[in-house]
Amino acid sequence: MKECVLGSLAVLLDVRNLPIRIGYGSLETVYAAARSAGLNSCGKDNYMTTKKKKIGVRLLAMLRHRCSGSVHSIAATMAEVIFLVLMSASLISYQAHAVDDVTQLFNSSRSLYAQEGSAAPSATESESAAANHLKRANFEQERASHEARHVADWVVDSGDNLRMPFVIVDKTNAKVFVFNPDGRLHGAASALLGLALGDEAVPGIGKRKLSSIRPEERTTPAGRFVAALGRNLYGKEILWVDYDGAISLHPVVTANLKERRLERLATSTTHDKRISYGCINVPAKFFQNVVRPAFTGTNGIVYVLPETRTAREVFTSYDVEERTPPETASQTVPAQVPSGTAWH
């Protein structure tokens, strides 16, 4: 509190410079009156309510007891009345500003809360947004047909590869794409395929000798196959695609020079790439640097695209924009991949 003297008036001010006590006489008298009224130096004891009541009482008391006094007393009384009126006005203004500040703070808080509430999605909305997020395969800069992209995108979006590496064999364009489990392209290369057009394998062909397989029977069957690394009867490392059908993906076979398989791999004509008995031949470096690392220690999925039917018919696939995934297919492979011929 602070004190000041105006003529014969003693005024007690609080820390906000608002008058909290006015007396006619010495400052000691005013301090004593303030203490008896329950006011402390911080003005914390119901300051607003107490002061409004005391102002009214002081006005009535002064007007009743001093109106009959001397001119000096009357002048002092009028001065005190003026101070009390000013003090009342100050209190009302202060309280009004306080109410305005509180109201503004409340409104601001409510507005901020409303904004935050509308901006923050619920758990259900977040799950729905995540479910509607479309996933696609990443082909990097590699050129690919519409059918190859369709199947690769479906695999990634549906999770049909079961978090395993996967391969897309595009027979129409004689090209192989190897993907990481998350759908990022690991590598791509040209491939040699079965001599005959067709998407079905001849029943029991895997048990027959190569010399007994007629040209029209040398197809590379379409479908979804669980694949694993293994070795053929000659000890060569291969990727088994369809063990029962003796179909594998392996480094290009160059034993028969008349077939010119290395030259066929290098040509841009897809017709030249139809030469094998049904196996998928790829460049040796591609097998060593891409296929083997991708399938080492894990199985994977090989998707051989059809050439006489659509991918939707073979895989029950969908365009990712449609978002109507069917049940994921399943297939098992032996714990230990046996050896077989599958080198043609």
Confidence of residue 153 (pLDDT cuts 50, 70, 90): very high
Do 142 and 115 share a structural domain? no
pTM: predicted TM-score of the whole model, two decimal places: 0.60
Q: What is the 3-state secondary structure (H, E, C) of 58-75?
A: HHHHHHHHHCCCCHHHHH
The answer to whether 11 and 4 have CB atoms below 8 angstroms apart is: yes
Between 98 and 136, whose confidence is greater?
136
By percentage, how much of the chain surpasses pLDDT 70?
56
- Report the domain count for the chain: 2
CATH number of the domain at 306, please: 2.40.440.10
Domain that holds residue 257: 136-315
Do 304 and 169 share a structural domain? yes
Confidence of residue 322 (pLDDT cuts 50, 70, 90): confident
Do 279 and 163 share a structural domain? yes
Q: Is residue 219 part of a domain?
A: yes
pLDDT of residue 323: 73
pLDDT of residue 142: 97
pLDDT, average across residues 215-237: 96
> Which of helix, strand or coil describes residue 217?
helix
- CA–CA separation, 265 and 223 (whole Å): 23
Q: What is the pLDDT of residues 24-78, one digit of tens each?
A: 444 455 445 545 544 444 444 444 444 444 444 454 444 444 444 444 454 455 5
Do 210 and 144 share a structural domain? yes
The tokens of 197 are what?
A: 């057009």
Residue 205 above 60 pLDDT? Answer: yes
Looking at 120-206, list the stretches that DSSP marks H as alpha helix, in order from N- to C-terminal side: 123-131, 146-158
pLDDT of residue 46: 46
Do 253 and 175 share a structural domain? yes
Do 180 and 103 share a structural domain? no
Do 78 and 42 share a structural domain? yes
Q: What is the pLDDT of residues 75-127, one digit of tens each?
A: 455 545 444 444 544 544 444 443 454 345 435 444 544 454 445 555 555 54
Between 263 and 53, whose confidence is greater?
263
Confidence of residue 325 (pLDDT cuts 50, 70, 90): low
Q: pLDDT averaged over the chain?
A: 74
